[in-house]
């Protein structure tokens, strides 16, 4: 499988915690579907202290993984919202 296009998407979305609405990351998202994974090379700004943990309510919203050999955050359930 091919690696994700590093400069590809230009649409930036804000990802917030579904429970406390704290802004977690700004991400360059491609496609129209739901957010399932975030490639780390596409993260524009990261507002978390610990990767994958909401600093406000301390809930885990994502876990580290490799997708097609590229570091990414895999979203856990529906613990984030996009705007």
11-38 pLDDT per residue, tens: 899 999 989 999 999 999 888 888 889 9
Q: What is the pTM for the complete model shown?
A: 0.80
Rounded to whole angstroms, the Cα distance separating 12 from 26 reads 7
pLDDT digits 0-9 by tens, 41-81: 999 999 999 999 999 999 999 999 999 999 999 999 877 78
CA 5, 6, 9, 14 dihedral sign is positive
Does the pLDDT value for residue 7 go beyond 90? no
Q: What is the pLDDT of residue 6?
A: 58
């Amino acid at each position: 499988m091919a690696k994700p296009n590093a400069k590809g998407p230009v649409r930036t979305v804000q990802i917030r915690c579904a429970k406390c609405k704290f802004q977690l990351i700004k991400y360059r998202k491609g496609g129209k579907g739901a957010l399932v994974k975030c490639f780390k090379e596409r993260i524009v700004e990261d507002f978390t202290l610990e990767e994958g943990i909401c600093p406000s309510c301390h809930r885990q919203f994502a876990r580290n993984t490799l997708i097609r050999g590229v570091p990414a955050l895999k979203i856990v359930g529906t613990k984030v919202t996009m705007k």
